[in-house]
């Protein structure tokens, strides 16, 4: 591309990023067991991709109940904090900027993953459908199973969870991260509070849309006050279709997604956080996100806006040139191409992704994808 919008300056919070290419959160299930600890292999993986303007880690659970898939990392023990410090040091040594995605899956879990074999927790005791979670069946082996039926959190427990998010953000700062992203998308815990389909509460966290947004508001405001609003991002996944694919996308399609998410984004704007990341529908033949919604997002939020979907360099560049996005994230291409920014800059061909090695395992399909050699 003669004029490449990916390589123009952009500010995010307190950082001037070297480009507008983002490594989005990508679950890879490579943490050390037992303990769900980030390790040297993960540090190598993220360092290889430090050419991105911004790196966001895979979802890392804020507490033991927050885990929905075997071998995903946490950030709630001293060992986990120390493990992540290896990652942040490796990325910083390579000149990168890295945020930790803080994750709680809520009801998208199984009793085998829960402390003491308990039921998963959620906004309400409403089971999720059409999705699977991954449990370990033997060291290094596991299987997909249906989530266990959840139980509703008490009001006091909801308030305690706000504090757990704040502590996790503090832990991320101790681990050397440049900031954190709150995972409020894809049907996980914060999304379970936002959605009328999963939140049937009758306390201050349920009922009206503003009440359903209260948990989001409390978490975002609490974390921003603790670590600084310029170090906070939020991820949403608004869906505008009711197809089976959308329902399989953890099943939360609002009756009025435009209003629901613009009201949610107003909360982020009022707090003044650094960025908003929006995950677009990314299955085969998924519909385009409505232009009216993208424009409303831009009109509502003054921080940096990231879009992540099945973008190519060309479609991402068009989105940047439209002014509706400030950064574009590439998931699958970044898994297979550690030097993706250089490939985009030079128009080089991309390595193909091996789907069989995305989740779990070791270096194969993780750190062994080659850089471009001509």
* Three-state DSSP state, 117: helix
* Three-state DSSP state, 78: helix
* Confidence class for position 173, pLDDT limits 50, 70, 90: very high
272 vs 269: CA distance, rounded Å: 5
* Three-state DSSP state, 358: coil
Residue 210 burial (C-beta neighbours within 10 Å; 0-12, 13-18, 19+): exposed
Determine what percent of the chain is predicted with pLDDT higher than 70: 97
* Confidence class for position 170, pLDDT limits 50, 70, 90: very high
- Provide the phi-psi class of 365: left if phi over 0, else alpha when psi is between -120 and 50, else beta: left
207 vs 83: CA distance, rounded Å: 40
8 vs 345: CA distance, rounded Å: 12
Quickly tell me which residue has 């998924």 as its tokens: 286
Q: Which of 1-10, 108-117, 159-168, 224-233 has the lowest mean pLDDT?
A: 1-10
CB 293 within 8 A of CB 240: yes
CB atoms within 10 A of CB 102: 28
The pLDDT value recorded for residue 70 is 98
* Confidence class for position 245, pLDDT limits 50, 70, 90: low
Question: Does the annotation mark 359 as catalytic?
Answer: no
CATH classification code of 5-357? 3.20.20.70
The pLDDT value recorded for residue 282 is 79
Residue 263 burial (C-beta neighbours within 10 Å; 0-12, 13-18, 19+): middle
The pTM assigned to this predicted structure is: 0.97
Instruction: Check whether 228 has a pLDDT greater than 50.
Output: yes
Rounded to whole angstroms, the maximal C-alpha distance in the chain is 61
**What is the phi/psi pair of residue 219, to 5°?**
-70, -50
Instruction: Check whether 242 has a pLDDT greater than 80.
Output: no
Delimit the domains of the chain by residue range.
5-357
The pLDDT value recorded for residue 374 is 79
Please choose, from the candidates 373, 372, 374, the residue with its C-alpha nearest in 3D space to the C-alpha of residue 338: 372
Please choose, from the candidates 189, 256, 187, 186, the residue with its C-alpha nearest in 3D space to the C-alpha of residue 219: 189
Pick the catalytic residue from 45, 46, 165, 188.
188
What average pLDDT does this structure show over 345-363? 97
111 vs 99: CA distance, rounded Å: 30
Instruction: Check whether 2 has a pLDDT greater than 60.
Output: no
Residue 346 burial (C-beta neighbours within 10 Å; 0-12, 13-18, 19+): exposed
Quickly tell me which residue has 């914060």 as its tokens: 190
Measure CA of the first residue to CA of the last residue in the chain; give whole Å. Answer: 18
What average pLDDT does this structure show over 262-282? 96
DSSP state of 54: E
The pLDDT value recorded for residue 1 is 46
279 vs 5: CA distance, rounded Å: 20
What average pLDDT does this structure show over 40-45? 98
The CA angle 193-196-201, to the nearest 5 degrees, is 60
The pLDDT value recorded for residue 335 is 98
What average pLDDT does this structure show over 328-344? 97
CB 55 within 8 A of CB 46: yes
């Amino acid at each position: 591309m003669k004029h490449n919008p990916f390589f123009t300056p952009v500010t995010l919070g307190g950082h001037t990023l070297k480009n507008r290419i983002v490594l989005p959160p990508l679950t890879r299930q490579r943490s050390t067991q037992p303990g769900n600890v980030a390790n040297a292999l993960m540090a190598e993986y993220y360092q290889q991709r430090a050419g991105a303007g911004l790196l966001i880690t895979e979802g890392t659970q804020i507490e033991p109940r927050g885990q929905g898939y075997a071998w995903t990392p946490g950030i709630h023990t001293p060992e986990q904090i120390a493990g992540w410090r290896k990652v942040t040091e490796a990325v910083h040594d390579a000149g990168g900027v890295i945020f930790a995605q803080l994750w709680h899956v809520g009801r998208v879990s199984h009793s085998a993953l829960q402390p003491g074999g308990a039921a998963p927790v959620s906004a309400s005791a409403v089971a999720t459908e059409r999705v699977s979670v991954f449990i370990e069946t033997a060291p290094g082996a596991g299987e997909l199973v249906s989530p266990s039926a959840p139980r509703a959190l008490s009001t006091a427990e909801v308030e305690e969870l706000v504090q757990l998010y704040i502590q996790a953000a503090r832990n991320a700062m101790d681990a050397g991260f440049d900031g954190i992203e709150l995972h409020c998308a894809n049907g996980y815990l914060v999304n379970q509070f936002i959605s009328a389909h999963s939140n049937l509460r009758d306390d201050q966290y349920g009922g009206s849309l503003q009440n359903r947004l209260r948990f989001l508001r409390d978490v975002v405001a609490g974390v921003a006050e603790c670590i600084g609003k310029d170090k906070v991002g939020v991820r949403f996944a608004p869906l505008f279709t009711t197809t089976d694919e959308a329902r399989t996308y953890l099943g939360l399609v609002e009756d009025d997604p435009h209003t629901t998410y613009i009201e949610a984004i107003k909360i982020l704007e009022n707090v003044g956080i650094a960025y908003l990341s929006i995950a677009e529908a990314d299955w085969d033949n998924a519909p385009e996100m409505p232009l009216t919604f993208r424009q409303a997002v831009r009109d509502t939020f003054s921080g940096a806006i990231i879009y992540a979907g099945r973008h190519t360099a060309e479609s991402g560049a068009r989105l940047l040139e439209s002014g509706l996005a400030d950064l574009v994230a590439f998931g699958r291409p970044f898994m297979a191409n550690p030097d993706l920014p250089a490939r985009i800059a030079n128009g080089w061909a991309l390595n193909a992704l091996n789907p069989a090695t995305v989740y779990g395992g070791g270096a194969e399909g993780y750190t062994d994808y080659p850089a471009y050699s001509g």
